[in-house]
Amino acid sequence: MLGVLALAVLLVLAVDRFYGHSTIAFAAAIIMLIVANAPMLRYNCPRCGKNAFFRGPFVVPWPNRSCARCGLDLDTVLPSQKR
Ligand SMILES: [Zn+2]
């Protein structure tokens, strides 16, 4: 996720350098971010359905180890990310 964000920023900077200010580059970066975020939306708690990336009002770039709502251990039910 953070790598994709850096990639998107680099893409914007690169296009900015070659073509001047471009909203297309920004649009492409935003689309990339949405595509990169799509798998995150499937990381839901199997018991209560709460997304594992939401920690209260905050969105974290890594899934919670346990569900913030019902306390289910998500490490055992979700494919754990290598960190
Ligand atoms: Zn839960």
For ligand 1, an ion, list residues with CB under 5 A.
45, 47-48, 50, 67, 69-70, 72
Mind listing the pLDDT tens digit of every residue in the chain (83 residues)? 566 667 666 766 776 676 666 677 778 877 887 777 777 777 788 889 888 877 767 777 777 788 888 988 877 766 655 54
- What separation in Å is there between the alpha carbon of 51 and the centre of ligand 1? 8
How far apart are alpha carbons 3 and 22 in whole angstroms?
22
Whole-model pTM: value is: 0.44
Where helices occur in the chain by DSSP H, the ranges are: 2-19, 23-37, 74-77
